[in-house]
Structure 1
């Protein structure tokens, strides 16, 4: 099988009580679904630097700079085969802080408590990441790798050895 690669990042802004999600309008990949607070596809010069991509997307979509993103960390990497593409998603999380009045150029932002966030409609990999984060990830500092199949996403801590 020969598949193209689609590299994407997502930024999830969180606080102790919930998560800021974007109802994306006009997206080729996730139209009329909730996704991370910001995110998108890699530019050619970012292919080896997911952080550069997520920072560019945060600036373009939310007008946030790296100094606005407290405790920014890549927490999940997922792989999924969809429509002949291997979709690689790099999920970053950062503290929401005092930015509760943010607006987005990509759709409508809404702050959900974690129980509500577990109920909103999302793309499958994002849904599985958010569910895992609510259940386990928010209590650790681990970087998780996940493979998404029809049965869900299997997550394992990704550790250096």
Structure 2
């Protein structure tokens, strides 16, 4: 999957969904979705496509668009990988979406929204470490009490020899 969080000043464009194929309750998320076959080696293209489909924002209207997180989780034996991008919009005007309702939410209120645990953990990390320039990898785990956790590590360039 590719997910994008677009900011404008101190607000973040978030999507509220009434439900999905998997969940029958209201939840919040970023802009994004599944990668198409031809996008598998370039998730940034998938993210730009999803942004335009869901918000109407064109690539040229987004500044500083960067991959910040790669999230990995095991969901009933299926390994899921999510690329999370952050970018800044030049304006606040979005087109209505068939996917859900779009709202500009103050950055400091994001973690109080009903999001998936992995997205909530990502936002907590992002707010606590706003100046990290490297890509951060997060993998979900469970502690002894079976509560979900996430382990973070900074991705660095490989030195093979």
Q: Same fold (TM over 0.5)?
A: yes
CA shift for structure 1 position 125: 1.3
- 1 CA distance for matches of 2:109 and 2:47? 25
Unaligned runs of 5+ in 1: 1-7
Matching residue of 1:148 = 140
Matched, 1:86 2:79: yes
Secondary structure at the counterpart of residue 139 of structure 1: coil
Q: Do the aligned partners of 2:27 and 2:114 also contact (CA within 8 Å) in 1?
A: yes
- Equivalent residues in 2 for 1:84-123, closer than 5 Å: 84-123=77-116
Matching residue of 1:54 = 47
Q: Greater CA deviation, 15-24 or 64-73?
A: 15-24
Secondary structure at the counterpart of residue 44 of structure 2: helix
Matched, 1:33 2:30: no
Give the total of aligned pairs. Answer: 152
- 1 CA distance for matches of 2:55 and 2:70? 22
Q: Do the aligned partners of 1:62 and 1:105 also contact (CA within 8 Å) in 2?
A: no
- 2 CA distance for matches of 1:80 and 1:68? 32
- 1 CA distance for matches of 2:20 and 2:104? 20
Unaligned runs of 5+ in 2: 143-147
Q: 1:44 to 1:85 in 2, by over 3 A?
A: same
Find the structure with the greater CA-based Rg: 2
Q: 1:29 to 1:54 in 2, by over 3 A?
A: farther
